[in-house]
Homo-oligomer: A and B are copies of this chain.
Amino acid sequence: MPDALYFEDFPLGEVVEYGGIDVSVDEIIAFASEFDPQPFHTDEEAARAATGGLIASGWHTSALLLRMNCEAFLMRAAILEEAGVEEVRWQLPVRPRDRLHVRRQTLASRSRASAGEVEFLYEVINQNGLAAMIQRSVLLLKQRPRLVTS
């Protein structure tokens, strides 16, 4: 179903929640071994001494947010441009057996000729209701095509 979600589908101030991912030891170690092989991400023994146990690479949490965004809406959105990120904060450690979901808020909504820019604040919330990570980024979306009737 291409182009099912348009600029108008993300109104200013809207807050939605979605997702639900269980973080596993194996996935934490697999991601970190490939991209972020610092011992507190890859080695349970070393992590216990350094940080009280294994913690996920912040970039792994970012990737899990991306997966939840794809499943919830990105795959169906009429995206013209998604060219960057304004801010990422890793506020709390993400550990094995954490359960994460997303709270997304539309912070800004700017209409342009036949397109529109939407700024989202994403919070990755853990099983204790705390935001382990936040991210702000801007999407450029198509506006919903108008039906022309004569």
B83 A91 Cβ-Cβ under 8 A: yes
* A48-72 residues at the B interface, CB under 8 angstroms: 57-59, 62-64, 66-67, 70
Question: A89 at interface (Cβ–Cβ under 8 A)?
Answer: yes
Q: Which stretch from A30-38, A103-111, A112-120 is at the chain B interface?
A: A30-38
Chain B residues with CB below 8 A from A34, complex form: 63, 67
A63 in contact with B82 (CB, 8 Å): no
Task: Name A35's contact: one of B37, B66, B84 (CB within 8 Å).
Answer: B66
Other-chain residue from B36, B63, B84 in contact with A70 (beta carbon distance below 8 A): B36
Establish whether residues A62 and B59, one from each chain, have CB atoms under 8 Å apart when the complex forms.
Answer: yes
Contact, CB under 8 Å: B38 / A75: yes
Tell whether, in the assembled complex, residue B89 and residue A87 are in contact, meaning their CB atoms are under 8 Å apart. Answer: no
Option from B36, B37, B90 in Cβ contact (under 8 Å) with A84: B90
Assess whether A36 is in contact with B90, with CB atoms less than 8 Å apart.
no
Chain A 82-97 interface residues, beta-carbon cutoff 8 Å to B: 82-91
A35 touches B67 (CB 8 A): yes
Residue A16 at the chain B interface, CB threshold 8 Å: no
21 contacts across the A-B interface (CB closer than 8 A): A34-B67, A35-B63, A35-B66, A35-B70, A36-B63, A36-B66, A36-B67, A36-B70, A37-B75, A58-B82, A59-B59, A59-B63, A59-B66, A63-B63, A82-B90, A83-B90, A83-B91, A84-B88, A84-B89, A85-B88, A88-B88
